[in-house]
């Protein structure tokens, strides 16, 4: 549209949701001559707010309002447009107001789709779209007698957010999804199945592949039951429909503009309708035959129209529909085309609750798409490589092997798909405007300001640019804390801080995120801040710590009692066998000389642990970032080659460091001679016997990328050995980054093993007395987490399959026999497989 000349032109935007707000902001930034007079007409009484974060408003009272427009923008709220006169170029509102325009933008968004099932109009049935919807849901739920059940119809992104909201209101929550698995548009079957296990572990029930027949009313005329096509039903006093959206195109239809067969206002690549004076953007627009329901593509349309209004030639040529979010504490990501018919590489880890799948070209070089559930740390980098050549193998990509430094990505790579910001745009902004802080980069480029999933990659680009310019790089943990993890550790230690709320109030900003919350939880636990399920700490824990057990692939849990040094009496072996037999559990000897019991339902965990604790067992901390095991050979007691009692030392070390919370899991081993049967040199701290004492090896690492431990000291007596290990562990806990193993921590230390030796042996930093005292406090304060839980009725209340039926086992958990034991009837794993489709 030509706006040349000195005259003013009238722009009317119908709709003040996120897309309408973005359009106005983008135009005001570009229109420095103020050639457009802007009027925005909104249907809601509120100005624009962040619909993506609706649940946080309900559960946390978050303020979702976007920044107000400048005073020159006229904003009319609570007065919906009822008609458009294209000949006169005038819109009419419900109050009778008539507003003329030279250009009109339809940003009317969408409405929730409610399937035409019987009972959908009953009292107690809601949709999940606006703040008003949420307030009505809250008021209705609060008036019901407790306890009650609520059901969300729809297992997509918004449906699961709605389920979290219902649970936050205290309702026993069900999720109904007609597709065979959750989030069917973003996840494949494996990813959907893993997500389901995570969600069911949070006391929600999922009914997937279940067509709904209708809703039935109770005696009071309100909704009381959800009925299915197979004749089954669930009691439900609240029902929320979140089963998709429909474009709000009624205004376009009313004035004769073309719309799609299934809805949506038809627009060209410039987002212009058949009328040259009218544009459509966001969820109401049908561009290239597609309606986009994600914020990224909608914002891109807004940018296109802002450019076109000022005589630009921007086009909308499709959009990246990749998405990453945290659903009820579970990382979920989908990028590219995860359903492409090509080669795929899949990894499943049922113990950690992780599912990863990459789809690559037939030569395994070009990344086409992927799915991540349970661990999405690599999402920003993987998404950046979509359509491009991976710098490593697909297997390396799954485990972070292609994690590029910010400077390695091609300049055209789209880093922020929500705002269509490329790597070069970020780099140029950093260089041209001398930006040094992440917040500055976000404010200048908009990268990372919407969903936030690209923030880690934006930070990498910033760090790479600053490093190249010789500027010191910030080590802030995340945008909520300007401090590194080690600095936060010292702040908590010195100031005696005991809660996350106190820490972020006094030394951070905002509400925190999935980076800083678990990191602070680990710090608090490392400093002996009481039981991890006490008070606010319980809300910071992940699924495994939440139930003091590792969740498995079918929603059950594993039970791993501690067996120090691998030594166990026949009586205790019998107890484990009896527990496994009586509860029908699968038993497995682990590589760390323990016995795992698999297949326990969440409601069985207290009863199982009661018998184990009564027999003298305690938690093996298989679920926590803590000491796992101290493995041993039989040593000098039995072996003809042994020169020291490795079993006694292993037991002594395991009992000393049990329950010690750290940035990552810790493993150790003690070998009784140089033959190294306990494999000590692959452990975080390993000990090998000599004729004169013990050799100490530090920072080894097994797993996907093994690292041989470094020899730290030789021929140590018992007391010196333990003193050095004490200091090593406490120095690591104090200074390591979040989720950093001792191997990568040592590699990051300037000076490496020699510097570490100066700190621990020579006391170069003057810290040894503090480190010794910290370990002494840990040893003195240790208390078994499961014993404490069994003695606390409040903690025990969380161990139920269903809140409203605590004695009812989960019917979705199924097993089949294999080799005289049980096997879950679901995905196989853990596994890494390559499949050609």
Q: Mean pLDDT across the stretch 779-783?
A: 91
pLDDT of amino acid 703:
66
Asked if the model's pLDDT at residue 128 lies above 60, the reply is yes
Please state, in angstroms and rounded to a whole number, the distance separating the CA atoms of residues 829 and 820: 19
Tell me the Ramachandran region of residue 302: left when phi exceeds 0, alpha when psi lies from -120 to 50, beta otherwise.
alpha
According to the model, what pLDDT value does residue 721 have?
96
Is 70 exceeded by the pLDDT of residue 117?
yes
Distance CA 312, CA 598 (A): 62
pLDDT, average across residues 317-330: 73
Q: If pLDDT is split at 50, 70 and 90, which confidence band does 222 have? A: very high
Q: What is the pLDDT of residue 401?
A: 45
Mean pLDDT, rounded, for 235-246: 91
Order the strands of the 125-127 sheet from edge to edge: 125-127, 238-241, 149-153, 172-177, 205-208
**Is 639 among the annotated ligand-binding positions?**
yes
Q: For the full predicted model, state whether its pTM sits above 0.75.
A: no
Dihedrals φ, ψ of 552, to 5°? Answer: -105, 180
State residue 152's pLDDT score. Answer: 94
pLDDT more than 70, % of the chain: 91
- For residue 221 the two structure tokens come to 């005329």
Q: What beta strand segments (E) does 2-137 contain?
A: 9-14, 36-41, 74-76, 81-85, 90-93, 98-100, 103-106, 110-112, 125-127
pLDDT of residue 803: 52
Is pLDDT of 749 > 50? yes
Most confident range (mean pLDDT) of 261-275, 351-365, 530-544 is 261-275
Q: Looking up tokens 């003329």, which residue turns up?
A: 100
Task: Tell me which residue has tokens 């490392």.
Answer: 526
Say whether pLDDT at 827 is over 50.
Answer: no
pLDDT-derived band of residue 658, with 50, 70 and 90 as boundaries?
Answer: very high
Locate tokens 């310019």: which residue? Answer: 469
Please choose, from the candidates 730, 635, 624, 742, the residue with its C-alpha nearest in 3D space to the C-alpha of residue 683.
Answer: 742
Q: Mention every residue, 6+ apart, whose C-beta is less than 8 A from residue 325.
A: 157, 332, 333, 451, 453
pLDDT at 550 over 80: no
Helix (H, G, I), strand (E, B) or coil at 409: coil
Could you tell me the domains of the chain? 9-111+247-309 (3.50.50.60), 125-243 (3.50.50.60), 320-400+828-837 (3.30.390), 404-474 (1.10.10.1100), 485-541 (no CATH), 547-624 (3.90.480.10), 625-782 (3.30.413.10)
Give the model confidence (pLDDT) of 172-183 as tens digits.
899 999 999 988
Tell me the pLDDT tens digit for each residue of 387-417.
877 777 777 776 654 444 445 667 777 777 7
Closest by Cα among 65, 19, 1 to 300: 19
Q: Side-chain half-sphere of 335: how many Cα atoms within 13 Å? A: 31
Secondary structure element (H or E) that encloses residue 254, with its range: helix 250-254
Q: Is it the case that residue 107 has pLDDT exceeding 90?
A: yes
Q: What count of other Cβ atoms lies within 10 Å of the Cβ of residue 74?
A: 13
Q: For strand 9-14 and strand 36-41, is the pairing parallel, antiparallel, or unpaired?
A: parallel
d(CA 459, CA 440): 11
Cβ within 8 Å of residue 312, ≥6 positions away: none
How large is the average pLDDT for residues 299-314? 92
* Secondary structure class of 153 (helix, strand, coil): strand
Question: Which range scores top for mean pLDDT: 268-282, 596-610, 738-752?
Answer: 268-282
Beta bridge partners of 821: 818
Measured CA to CA, the distance from residue 144 to residue 237 in angstroms comes to: 8
Q: Which helix (H) or strand (E) holds 380?
A: helix 379-384
Computed on alpha carbons and rounded to an integer, the radius of gyration of the chain in Å comes to 30
Whether pLDDT at 99 is above 90: yes
- In which element (H, E) is residue 596 found? strand 595-600
416 in a labelled binding site:
no
Q: What SS3 state is found at 589?
A: strand
Q: What are phi and psi of 60, to 5 degrees?
A: -120, -5
Other beta carbons less than 10 A from residue 379's beta carbon: 23
pLDDT per residue over 1-52, tens digit each?
A: 554 445 689 999 999 999 999 999 999 988 888 889 999 999 999 899 888 7
Kindly indicate the confidence band of residue 446, based on its pLDDT and cuts at 50, 70 and 90: confident
Instruction: Please check whether residue 214 is in contact with residue 117, taking contact to mean a CB–CB distance below 8 angstroms.
Output: yes
User: What is the average per-residue pLDDT within 491-504?
Assistant: 87
d(C-alpha 208, C-alpha 317), whole Å: 35
Provide the total of helices (H) and of strands (E) in the chain, helices listed first. Answer: 27, 39
Question: Within a 10 A sphere around the Cβ of 653, how many other Cβ atoms?
Answer: 23
619-641 per-residue burial string, b: 16 or more CB within 10 A, e: under 16: bbbbbbbbbbbbbbbbbbeeeee
Binned at pLDDT 50, 70 and 90, residue 775 comes out as very high
Burial of 546 (0-12, 13-18, 19+ CB in 10 A): buried
Q: Is 454 annotated as a binding residue?
A: no
pLDDT at 5: 44
Pairing of strands 125-127, 666-671: unpaired
633 is in an annotated binding site: yes
* Separation CA 553–CA 599 (nearest Å): 10
Among 836, 806, 835, 824, CA closest to 147: 806
User: What's the rounded Cα separation, in Å, for the pair 162 and 150?
Assistant: 10
- How confident is the model over 676-711, as pLDDT tens digits? 888 999 999 999 999 999 999 999 987 656 788 999
Mean pLDDT over each residue of the chain, to the nearest integer: 85
pLDDT at 326: 66
**What's the confidence (pLDDT) of residue 500?**
87
Distance CA 239, CA 121 (A): 11
Higher-scoring residue by pLDDT: 190, 836: 190
């Amino acid at each position: 549209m030509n706006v040349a000349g000195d005259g003013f032109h009238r722009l009317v935007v119908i709709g003040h949701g996120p897309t309408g707000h973005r359009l106005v902001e983008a135009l005001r930034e570009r229109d420095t001559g103020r050639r457009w007079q802007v009027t925005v007409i909104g249907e809601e009484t509120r100005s624009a707010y962040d619909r993506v974060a609706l649940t946080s408003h309900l559960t946390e009272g978050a303020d979702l309002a976007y920044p107000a427009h400048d005073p020159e923008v006229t904003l009319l709220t609570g007065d919906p447009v009822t008609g458009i006169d294209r000949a006169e170029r005038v819109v009419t509102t419900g109050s009778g107001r008539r507003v003329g325009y030279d250009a009109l933008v339809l940003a009317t968004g969408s409405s929730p789709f409610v399937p035409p099932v019987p009972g959908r109009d009953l009292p107690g049935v809601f949709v999940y779209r606006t703040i008003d919807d949420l307030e009505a849901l809250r008021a209705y739920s609060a008036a019901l007698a407790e306890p009650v059940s609520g059901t969300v119809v729809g297992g997509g992104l918004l449906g699961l957010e709605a389920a979290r909201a219902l649970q936050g209101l205290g309702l026993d929550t069900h999720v109904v999804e007609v597709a065979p698995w959750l989030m069917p548009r973003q996840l494949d079957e494996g990813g959907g199945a893993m997500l389901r296990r995570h969600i069911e572990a949070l006391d929600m029930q999922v009914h997937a592949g279940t067509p709904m027949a209708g809703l039935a009313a109770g005696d009071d005329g309100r909704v009381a039951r959800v009925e299915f096509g197979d004749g089954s039903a669930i009691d439900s006093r609240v029902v929320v429909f979140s089963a998709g959206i429909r474009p709000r195109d009624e205004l376009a239809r009313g004035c004769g503009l073309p719309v799609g067969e299934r809805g949506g206002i038809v627009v060209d690549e410039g987002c212009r309708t058949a009328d040259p004076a009218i544009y459509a953007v966001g969820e109401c627009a049908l561009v290239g035959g597609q309606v986009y329901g994600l914020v990224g593509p909608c914002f891109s349309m807004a940018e296109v129209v802002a450019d076109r209004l000022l005589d630009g030639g921007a086009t909308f040529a499709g959009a990246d529909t990749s998405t990453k979010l945290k659903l009820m504490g579970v990382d979920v990501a989908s990028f590219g085309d995860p359903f492409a018919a090509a080669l795929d590489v899949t990894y499943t880890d049922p113990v950690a609750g992780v599912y990863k799948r990459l789809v690559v070209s037939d030569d395994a070089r070009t990344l086409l798409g992927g799915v991540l559930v349970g661990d999405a740390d690599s999402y920003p980098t993987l998404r950046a490589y979509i359509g491009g050549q991976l710098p490593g193998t697909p297997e390396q990509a799954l485990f972070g092997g292609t994690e590029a430094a910010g400077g390695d990505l091609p300049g055209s790579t789209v880093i922020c798909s929500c705002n269509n910001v490329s790597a070069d745009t970020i780099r140029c902004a950093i260089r041209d405007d001398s930006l040094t802080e992440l917040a500055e980069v976000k404010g200048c480029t908009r990268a990372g300001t919407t969903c936030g999933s690209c923030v880690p990659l934006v930070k990498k680009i910033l760090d790479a640019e600053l490093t190249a310019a010789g500027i010191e790089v910030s080590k802030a943990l995340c945008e909520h804390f300007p401090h590194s993890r080690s600095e936060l550790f010292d702040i908590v230690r010195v100031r005696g801080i005991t809660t996350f709320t106190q820490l972020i109030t006094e030394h951070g900003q905002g509400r925190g995120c999935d980076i800083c919350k678990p990191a602070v939880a680990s710090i608090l636990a490392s400093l002996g801040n009481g039981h991890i399920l006490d008070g606010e700490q319980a809300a910071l824990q992940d699924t495994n710590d939440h139930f003091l057990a590792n969740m498995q692939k079918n929603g059950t849990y594993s039970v791993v009692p501690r067996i120090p040094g691998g030594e166990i009496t026949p009586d205790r072996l019998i107890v484990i066998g009896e527990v496994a037999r009586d509860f029908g559990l699968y038993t497995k000897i682990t590589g760390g000389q323990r016995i795992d019991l698999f297949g326990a339902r969440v409601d069985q965990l207290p009863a199982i642990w009661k018998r184990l604790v009564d027999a003298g067992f305690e938690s093996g901390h298989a679920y926590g970032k803590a000491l796992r095991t101290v493995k041993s050979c039989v040593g000098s007691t039995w072996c003809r080659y042994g020169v020291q009692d490795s079993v006694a030392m292993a037991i002594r070390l395991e009992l000393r460091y049990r329950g010690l919370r750290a940035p990552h899991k810790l493993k150790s081993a003690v070998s009784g001679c140089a033959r190294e049967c306990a494999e000590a040199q692959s452990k975080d701290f390993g000990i090998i016997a000599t004729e004169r004492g013990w050799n100490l090896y530090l920072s080894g690492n097994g797993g996907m990328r093994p690292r041989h431990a470094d020899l730290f000291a030789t021929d140590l007596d018992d007391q010196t050995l333990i003193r050095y290990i004490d200091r090593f562990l406490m120095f690591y806990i104090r200074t390591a980054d979040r989720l950093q193993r001792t191997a990568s921590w040592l590699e990051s230390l300037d000076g490496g093993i020699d510097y570490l030796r100066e700190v621990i042996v020579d006391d170069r930093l003057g810290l040894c007395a503090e480190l010794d005292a910290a370990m002494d406090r840990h040893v003195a304060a240790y208390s078994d987490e499961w014993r404490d839980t069994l003695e606390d009725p409040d903690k025990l209340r969380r161990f139920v399959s269903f809140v409203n039926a605590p004695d009812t086992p989960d019917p979705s958990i199924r097993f089949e026999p294999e080799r005289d034991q049980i096997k879950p009837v679901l995905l196989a794993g853990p596994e890494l497989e390559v499949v050609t489709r």
